[in-house]
Amino acid sequence: MELHRIGESLDRVRQYNPLIHNITNVVVTNFTANGLLALGASPVMAYAKQEVADMAKIAGALVLNMGTLNELEVEAMLIAGKSANEHGVPIIFDPVGAGATPYRTETARKLVNELAISIIRGNAAEIANTIGEEWQIKGVDAGAGEKDVISLAIAAAKHLQTIVAITGKTDVISNGEKTYLIHNGHPILTKVTGTGCLLTSVMGAFAAVEKDTLAAGVHALVCYGVAAELAAHKAGQEGPGSFQIAFLNTLATMTSDDVHRMGKVERRK
């Protein structure tokens, strides 16, 4: 993966300002909208079953996030998702908390079965539980698992016939054939809620401007991780509150040159 292509994708997000339709959770809504705006995308949150098909079809990407799911929202996700599929709009799915309760696990499996999803992004437990494997999860945070995460990402991509991104200290993304590891990021990301959810929406912004969806996923993961490293440096020892603000600022100010200098991508297999 050439690092200059990653910077070019970042520039394209800013140039084209893609509309990203999010059906997401109540915890992260404002952070997600601000993060997408900072990056250069145009967020919209729309949930009513009367309008989601119309919104999804004009979006550059549809992001489905089941963090605080309920019956009406799941219904809206299916309507929006079918419209996105009909109109060639990529769907990015975050199965938040899959495995934590039977309802979450069943819903994640229903969505992946009924919709053609372009990228599914979650922690290892969420991805494992979505494909029917055991992996401990504590609420919405990944717990311990048996299998190695690279094998899990490849197996899940093959099982779901899509691109799977499993994030954590090292991010892994695979389409079942090609697999990349991204060694960017910072541990303080784990101290701000919604950093995983915002990342899923950022993947939507990159998928809206890059037709090669695997490349779009890699580009999003690298830019996000680099932004976190720069922001952690700026926030110093001040803690998660200052980091959150610095991170939003850095999504807006980071350059393709930063990505070129700091991006760490490894091709596997």
- Please enumerate, by residue number, every residue annotated as part of a binding site for substrate: 45, 194
Sequence letter at residue 23: I
Is residue 34 at the binding interface for ligand TZP, with CB under 6 A as the rule? no
What is the closest distance, in whole angstroms, from the C-beta atom of residue 73 to ligand ATP in the complex?
18
Only one of the segments 127-135, 187-195, 205-213, 228-236 lies at the binding site for ligand TZP (rule: CB under 6 A); that segment is 187-195
Distance of CA 158 to the CA centre of its chain: 19
* Binding annotation: 45, 121, 167, 194
Contact flag: residue 7 with ligand TZP (CB under 6 A): no
Q: Does 27 contact ligand TZP by CB under 6 A?
A: yes
What are the contacts of 125-128 at 24+ separation with CB within 8 A?
125/98, 125/99, 126/94, 126/95, 126/96, 126/97, 126/98, 126/99, 127/95, 127/98, 127/152, 127/153, 127/156, 127/164, 127/166, 128/99, 128/152, 128/156
Q: Should residue 185 be labelled a site residue for ligand ATP when binding is judged by CB under 6 A?
A: yes
The minimum distance between CB 57 and ligand ATP, in angstroms, equals 28
Among the listed residues 83, 167, 175, 250, the single contact to ligand ATP using CB under 6 A: 167
Choose the one of ligand TZP, Mg ion, ligand ATP, none that binds residue 136, judging by a C-beta under 5 to 8 angstroms depending on kind: none
Reading the block at residue 202, the tokens are: 């950022």
Considering beta carbons, is residue 29 or 175 the nearer one to ligand TZP?
29
Query: How far is 243 from 261, CA to CA, in rounded Å?
Result: 21
140 forms part of the interface with ligand ATP (CB under 6 A): yes
Site for ligand TZP, residues 96 to 115, rule: CB under 6 A? 96
Closest approach of ligand ATP to the CB of residue 266, in Å? 14
Q: Is residue 125 within 8 Å of residue 136, measured between CB atoms?
A: yes
To ligand ATP, the closest distance from the beta carbon of 49 in angstroms equals 27
Cα distance between residue 30 and residue 156, in whole Å: 30
Candidate ranges 188-196, 230-238, 241-249, 251-259; the one touching ligand ATP (CB under 6 A): 188-196
Tokens of 150: 């690279």
Residue type, 190: T
* Rounded-to-5 percentages of helix, strand, coil across the chain: 55, 15, 30
Which residues are annotated as part of the binding site for ATP?
121, 167
**Among the residue ranges 25-33, 39-47, 72-80, 159-167, the one whose residues contact ligand TZP (CB under 6 A):** 25-33
Evaluate whether 168 touches 258 at the Cβ level (below 8 Å).
no
